[in-house]
Amino acid sequence: MTDAATVRDVAALARLTISDQDIENVTVEFNQTLELFDALGTADTTDVSPMINPLDTAQRLRPDNIETLVDREGLMQNAPASEEDYFLVPRVLD
């Protein structure tokens, strides 16, 4: 069983907050999901290598050439707050 404090710790790592009102329900569902995963323990995986890519192939690389794929202005227009070419965030250094 994973307790509410651990669930809150994981949420903090994922930069999420869980309200006091929701924590009980979230913890119950979290544990239900982990119970679903218990079945994995029944599989004998001795000497089985993990499968990361379903085709088991190396990723293809392309020549390291400089290309302009997207326009900077178009990207900056989606910024919630910006000034000139910079993204604005709350002050980080005092």
Partner 1 sequence: MPGQFETISSLARQLAKGSVSSRELVEDAIARTETFNPVLNAVISLNKESALAAADLADQARVDGSTSPLLGIPILHKDIFCTRGVKTSCASKMLADFIPPYNATVVDKLQEAGMVSLGKCNMDEFAMGSSNETSFFGAVKNPWDVHRVPGGSSGGSAAAVAAGLAPMATGTDTGGSIRQPAALCGITGLKPTYGRVSRYGMIAFASSMDQAGPMARTAEDCALVLNAMAGHDPLDSTCSDLAVPDYSAVLDQSIKGLRVGLPKEFFSSHLNDAVAKTVTAAIKELEAAGAKIVDVSLPSTDLGVSTYYVIAPAEASANLSRYDGVRYGYRCDSPSDLQDLYLRSRTEGFGEEVKRRILIGAFTLSAASYDQYFMKAQQVRRLIAEEYQAVLKDVDVIAGPSAPNTAFVLNDDSKSVTDMYMEDVFTIGANLAGLPAISVPAGFVDGLPVGMQLIGTRFGEAQLLNIAHQFQRRTDWHSLTPNLEGLTR
Q: Does 1 bind partner 1 (CB under 8 A)?
A: no
Please name every residue paired with 83 in a beta bridge, in sequence order, or none if there are none. 86
* Minimum distance, C-beta of residue 84 to partner 1, in the bound complex (Å): 15
Instruction: Figure out which of the listed residues 21, 37, 84, 85 binds partner 1, where binding follows CB under 8 A.
Output: 37
Burial of residue 23, with CB atoms counted within 10 A of its CB: 0-12 exposed, 13-18 middle, 19 or more buried: middle
Q: Does 5 bind partner 1 (CB under 8 A)?
A: no
Q: Does 20 bind partner 1 (CB under 8 A)?
A: no
Contacting partner 1 within 63-82 (CB under 8 A): 69-71, 73-75, 77-81
The backbone region for 63, taken as left when phi is positive above 0, alpha when psi lies in -120 to 50, beta otherwise, is beta
Q: Does 45 bind partner 1 (CB under 8 A)?
A: yes
Query: Token digits for 50?
Result: 């993990």
